Amino acid sequence: MPDLLIELFSEEIPARMQGKAAADLKKLVTDGLVEAGLTYASAGAFSTPRRLALSVEGLLAASPAVKEERKGPKVGAPEQALAGFLRGVGLTQDQLEARDDKKGQVWFAVIDKPGRPASEIVAEVLEQTVRNFPWPKSMRWGDGTLRWVRPLHSILCILSDEAGAEVVDLDIDGIRSGDTTHGHRFMAPDAFSVTSFDDYAAKLRRAKVVLDASERADHIWAEATNQAFAQGMEVVEDRGLLTEVAGLVEWPVVLLGKIEEQFLDLPPEVLKTSMKEHQKFFSVKNPKTGRIEQYVTVANIETADQGATILAGNGRVLSARLADGKFFWENDLRVAKAGMQPWIDALENVTFHNKLGSQKERIERIAALAREIAPAVGADPELAEQAARVAKADLSSEMVYEFPELQGLMGRYYSEAAGLPAEVAAACEEHYSPLGPSDDVPTAPVSVAVALADKIDLLTGFWAIDEKPTGSKDPFALRRAALGVIRLVLENKVSLKLTRFIDEQLLRIEMGLVEGDASDQDMQSLRDILNEIAEHGVFGAALHAVVERGEDSPGEAVEKITAGMQDNGDDLLSFFHDRLKVFLKDKGIRHDIIDACIAMEGSEDLTLLVKRAEALSKTLKTDDGENLIQGFKRANNILSAEEEKDGVSYELDPDPKFAESDEEKALFAALDQAEATIKPAMAQEDFTTAMAAMAKLRGPIDAFFEATQVNSDNQIVRRNRLCLLHRIRTICGGVADLTKIEG
């Protein structure tokens, strides 16, 4: 059982690509080997900045011989058909076997495929792998046509067993395989040959290369925390940075340095971001002061002066960078303390989207909406509007220009410096949240109002210009925005009529789109409608109210907007509902249960909707609840069938005096009782009580159907019974649309 060792040695591979490249190498090579019949015991892949390596242990020395059978033409088939088949399989007629088949005798060819030596298969598979490697970005070099992430210099490929090692011979665009590699670029650059994976790993280590990226990462982390600990400091953990740095060095040498005193008062996030983004430094915190005071840099070389020159050089670069940071910070603070107005004005020249106008226009819309939303989330409307107006001002600051990832956070610092209320400053930082499914949701009312307005404006904007997400395409992260709204609403238990705010914002956006083209009168009508939406809840009703008052007669622009508004609003609401289904599915609530609740009135209030869905889900998990559905469906199906047949609906109140059996009388009583509980409970949105009362109907309904034939010959009795079934439908239907429940 030989072992296989492959190393692809190149110029520096980007750190972010190394991990996946090693995994891809392993998958492509081992899949190729297995497909060719070479099974193996185990495989491991490794990466450093200059090499990808793969070790496959316990490989078959050759692929097993196989017999392949192929079915040919019928015995007695035309000569031409047989000749063609013989050509295809490369046999003569006397080598064929005639076998019985369903339709008579058929010629079969049995082809012996001899096994092939591992070296032959490895050479083919490796060449295929190198030529088709899935680098995220690849390049050509020199005058060749081969593509690799950076120029590929050598290929080491050997099969080894007890008898020794053998080079697997291959040549890819002039790169000939061999058994040699190189050590560290500066500390051990000479070539050396290897005979096995163990030999390779050991010789690399002697040549100042640690092959395993996780070993390099572990070493860096252990060494960094030790050195920091010795000085009473703590390294700020950063997994992503650790992985990246481990991909930048073959021989990690950890150095601890001090940040110049004059920069220690910069916001810690600025220090951290500047050091990480520009220089790949870890931040080191002094637990006594809580400040970031030192840094860890990782060099790729051991020097005679123990890294003193390297550390001094890095320190100088850092000071120059932080001097820039300090310059930005101080300039920004001057603008901030003067009220940030120049920043807000500058956003007029920043295009948000070429159809949706500038950032400034977007901020105006968000501010108007945040003010409207505020009362619903318990925020002061004045503060919410003020927060929305400054929340994106920091986009114009020098610091955010330099470090876009500090947006929001700098807004908070600058709003504090401007002396704005604490709620406003907090909203600057928090209004972007939640960014992902695991990101924290803001809870401060002003932040919630601005966060909701920001996201609803984003969604309505792209709905208005018909740039909705399709399939896997969601370039403006609209699904994430919708999920953000859902989480903001649910986790803060906010009762919010989403339709109203969707319609308001859609209208604001439509008004922006027609502004300049529409007549003054039209714009006035639209403003009037906008003002009415709050009162009427939806656009349609507001439009009616304005038209009915007869003050404005709708002009061309109004009609055009009106035509699309309703559909757009409904479509966006159902987008929210779809996202909600995905969100609740993860929480164990079935999609049909949500559908049953969406069909009910008030589904634009997501908190209410979820409360109803949770109660229904719980009820359906009980024995009574599950069986009630069957009873309800039976009642509903019979009723629907009869209604269709008779062409009438049995909406009249049934009269208990026509009840014949005890079971029928009992059902009357049970429905009265249920109704008496359900109605007030529903009025108070106490779904649990209402549904418990509904579930109790299961027994009486089942008993009724057991004992009673609905279609009595007595027409009066029959009509009365159908009206009774109608009561079941009405009472249950007031709780949820049970017809939507599957099963």
Partner 1 sequence: MAEKLQKPRSFQEIIMRLQSYWAAQGCAVLQPYDMEVGAGTFHPATTLRALGSMPWSAAYVQPSRRPTDGRYGDSPNRWQHYYQYQVIIKPSPPDLQALYLGSLEAIGIDMKMHDIRFVEDDWESPTLGAWGLGWEVWCDGMEVSQFTYFQQVGGHDCKPVSGELTYGLERLAMYVLGFDDGNEMPFNDPDAPIPLTYGDVFREAEAQYARWNFDVADTDTLLQHFKDAEAECARILAQPADDPKTGRRIVMAQPAYDQAIKASHVFNLLDARGVISVTERQAYIGRVRTLAVACADAFVQTKAGGYTPENAA
Question: Which residues of this protein are in contact with partner 1, per CB under 8 A?
Answer: 11-12, 14-16, 49, 137, 139-143, 149-151, 153, 186, 248-249, 279, 297, 299-301, 303-305, 307, 309-310, 312-314, 316-320, 349-351, 354
Q: Return d(Cα 632, Cα 178) in angstroms, integer.
A: 77
CB of residue 394 to partner 1, shortest distance in Å: 17
Specify the residue, 118 or 275, whose C-beta has the smaller distance to partner 1.
275
Specify the residue, 394 or 532, whose C-beta has the smaller distance to partner 1.
394
CB of residue 133 to partner 1, shortest distance in Å: 15
- Quickly list H helices, 207-238: 213-230
What is the token pair recorded at 469?
């997400």
What is the token pair recorded at 556?
């061309």
CB within 8 Å of 121: residues ≥ 6 apart: 32, 33, 36, 37, 38, 63
Specify the residue, 376 or 513, whose C-beta has the smaller distance to partner 1.
513
Specify the residue, 68 or 171, whose C-beta has the smaller distance to partner 1.
171
CB of residue 263 to partner 1, shortest distance in Å: 14
Specify the residue, 398 or 592, whose C-beta has the smaller distance to partner 1.
398
Specify the residue, 321 or 500, whose C-beta has the smaller distance to partner 1.
321
> Parallel, antiparallel, or unpaired: how do β-strands 282-286 and 351-353 relate?
unpaired
What is the token pair recorded at 59?
């490989």
What letters, b where the CB count within 10 A reaches 16 and e where it falls short, cover 616-627?
bbbbbeeebbee
Q: Which helix (H) or strand (E) holds 613?
A: helix 606-620
CB of residue 24 to partner 1, shortest distance in Å: 18
CB within 8 Å of 672: residues ≥ 6 apart: none
Picking from 615, 610, 607, the residue whose alpha carbon sits closest to that of residue 452 is 607
Picking from 454, 404, 451, 456, the residue whose alpha carbon sits closest to that of residue 427 is 451
Q: Return d(Cα 738, Cα 719) in angstroms, integer.
A: 23
CB of residue 138 to partner 1, shortest distance in Å: 8
CB of residue 21 to partner 1, shortest distance in Å: 13
CB of residue 498 to partner 1, shortest distance in Å: 33
Specify the residue, 15 or 241, whose C-beta has the smaller distance to partner 1.
15
Specify the residue, 17 or 91, whose C-beta has the smaller distance to partner 1.
17
CB of residue 160 to partner 1, shortest distance in Å: 29
CB of residue 350 to partner 1, shortest distance in Å: 6
Place of tokens 């590929």: 152
CB of residue 11 to partner 1, shortest distance in Å: 6
Q: Return d(Cα 728, Cα 439) in angstroms, integer.
A: 45
CB of residue 187 to partner 1, shortest distance in Å: 8
Positions of E strands within 300-416: 351-353, 357-358
| 713 alpha carbon, distance to own chain's centre | 61
Residues 181, 200 contacting (CB under 8 angstroms): yes
Helix (H, G, I), strand (E, B) or coil at 12: coil
Helix (H, G, I), strand (E, B) or coil at 192: strand
Specify the residue, 10 or 521, whose C-beta has the smaller distance to partner 1.
10
Specify the residue, 108 or 135, whose C-beta has the smaller distance to partner 1.
135
CB of residue 220 to partner 1, shortest distance in Å: 14
CB within 8 Å of 507: residues ≥ 6 apart: 526, 529, 530, 533, 539, 561, 565
Would you call 739 exposed, middle or buried from its count of C-beta atoms within 10 A (0-12, 13-18, 19+)? middle
Provide the Cα torsion 236, 241, 246, 248; round to 10°.
-130
Specify the residue, 174 or 475, whose C-beta has the smaller distance to partner 1.
174
What is the token pair recorded at 651?
């909406």
Residues 392, 418 contacting (CB under 8 angstroms): no
Specify the residue, 15 or 82, whose C-beta has the smaller distance to partner 1.
15
**Given phi > 0 = left and psi -120 to 50 = alpha, else beta, which region is 659?**
beta
